[in-house]
Structure 1
């Protein structure tokens, strides 16, 4: 679909107002509707057709030379929303702030309402397609629905913080498992291991199975499988007859491996108990030579910055898009990812402005090449 859609001017002040409005609206996963309404209102005000689909995504289809998409939801947590000048005493070398410039504080300003608002502004300015997806911070229900409900675009730019000079081309995959075990209850003086011990022994074995081999201390984290327990619960059952244990685990999978191999390795360590797996997210590593990556490098240089090619140790919706669509893609957005989910989450508004300009140039370049 390469429908012709009129473009419209979006002054930077209006783009900033959209950003501030969206950050001011609490939108943790599952509670995105008010923020979604604000996005629909923004597109409608500029003559663009937009609606909220059956899972809650904001859809604004147009020229599919490129699809700009980011997530509407944030993680829980309250960071007071305010715009303040950057304080020289608080500046950090890795945060793109200069003394005196306006900085927006608030949950989601970096992850990923900043990228979301920048993409909405760029989509209206250039007439390209836009989707704001829901549930990225939990189960990616919005992206999972999108890849089966719409045609493949010619290119995708996913919105996550990379800094105005960063182009993210790789993410590790994601595998979530739930281990469950039970054992007969008995006096704690007995030597036989109980279910809680079985759970911890299994997890220790899994961690050891994925430890880098001797001499591989210099292997980057991106190229390793990392295993992390995120919750454990156990104790005597309600009827007092057994000990029960549940362990929630996450494994990150590098592009050099497939999720199925990692799952099998974890299961090979299983002697007692069972483990069930959620639907996995595959890893992704895009080429730096695609038209999307080239367009970003040129656009970033126009902003007098040196482009950086990034690989992230986490996971994003781009993994799902790459697994379903055979088109070039990259991830981009304003903000320092070290501030994701942090109590001091904040975004330089000057950086936000530059990201809108970069996205506009990229979308224009890809749309012109598609004509």
Structure 2
């Protein structure tokens, strides 16, 4: 059945630009939705929208999106109308489905900020409130999919300095040191192409700069790097293996979020499988190669949890990001059923 309320809230929120750090207007619109339903709601000191209620299950997703101007519109697709716009999939669609289900079933809800950058909302949340009985984190999985695992991540910045000299000299400069170190790191974590990506370390440079210093007496290089960590390894082990290849230079490791793999046999996962089947779907159990706020929740809280939400994750951050509205309807119904079961 068409869920008019969910569709209208989705269009409202997608129409409000909310890149990380600029979530206030969208947060206020989301809080107003809870106020219209006579729910207790407030915006906390970091910008999270908090609607406390029955903690049998905490529904949570992120308000922020990545930058990108996609004109908000509804177009007819293969499965009916689709809403186009930045955030429709990642993760305003899941956010709306969770919010609407939370209002209808009376469970706790938090819309967090900053997930696309440093996850400041989730980090504040786990320090500021007690552990719930269960968590459903909102990210696109498809209405019939259930995400149980995410790889972790370690991030850092490589820094090196060398004396300046004529380019004809054979001695390596700091730029070469950076390139050689990163080549060694990539070789260290090479995997068989037939191995699942989820079980491998993915090493990516995300930014690099280098050249002579202003006084011309030295050469400097900096490189920001990310390494995705599978559940078979720890963040510390991956950092150590990367550091072992250092010659000149050092790495300032700035962040480490452990991987997580949840059991498919928890009460939360079982409730989702039943709810998806009741909506006519065949449940799919997923493992994602990225990292989400669920990693942080799993590291802080010893309770069952899953990640769920409408949308095709292949459209995350894409210029053609859009969400079929029938998928939003189905996901909202699934989340209502799960909340009813868990409470």
Partner of 1:319: 295
* Equivalent in the alignment of 1:252: 228
Per the alignment, residue 154 of structure 2 pairs with: 175
Distance 1:150 1:162 in 2: 27
Instruction: Give me the TM-score of the superposition, normalised by structure 2.
Output: 0.99
Q: Specify the alignment match of 1:118 in structure 2.
A: 97
Structural mapping, 1:14-29, within 5 Å: 14-29=5-20
Aligned to 1:195: 174
Alpha-carbon deviation of 1:84? Answer: 1.1
CA apart distance, 1:221: 0.4
Give me the CA root mean square deviation: 0.8
Check whether the contact 2:266–2:304 (CA below 8 A) recurs between aligned residues.
yes
1:53 matched residue in structure 2? 44
CA contact (8 A) 2:6 2:328 kept: no
Aligned to 2:29: 38
**Number of residue pairs matched?**
342
Residue 338 of structure 1: aligned partner: 314
Q: Which residue does 1:285 correspond to in 2?
A: 261
Deviation at 1:12, TM superposition (A): 2.0
Give the deviation of 1:177 after TM superposition: 1.1
Residue in structure 2 matched with residue 106 of structure 1 by the alignment = 85
Aligned residue runs from structure 1 range 299-318, under 5 A: 299-318=275-294
Which segments of 5 or more consecutive residues in structure 1 lack a partner in the other structure? 1-10, 87-96
CA distance in 2, matches of 1:123, 1:38: 16
Q: Deviation string for 1:100-122 (max 9, x for gaps)? A: x1100000000000000111100
Give the SS at the match of 1:280. strand
Secondary structure of the equivalent of 1:204? helix
Structure 1 runs of 4+ aligned residues shifted over 2 Å read none
Q: Match of 1:93?
A: none
List runs of 5+ in structure 2 lacking aligned partners. Answer: none
Q: 2:213 corresponds to which residue?
A: 237
| Inter-partner Cα distance in structure 1 for 2:4 and 2:193 | 48
Aligned partners of 1:278, 1:352: CA distance in 2, in Å?
37
**What TM-score do the two structures reach when normalised by structure 1?**
0.91
Query: Aligned-pair distance for 1:217?
Result: 3.6
The question of 1:130 aligning with 2:128 is answered no
Q: Report the equivalent of 1:204.
A: 183
Q: CA deviation at 1:210?
A: 0.8
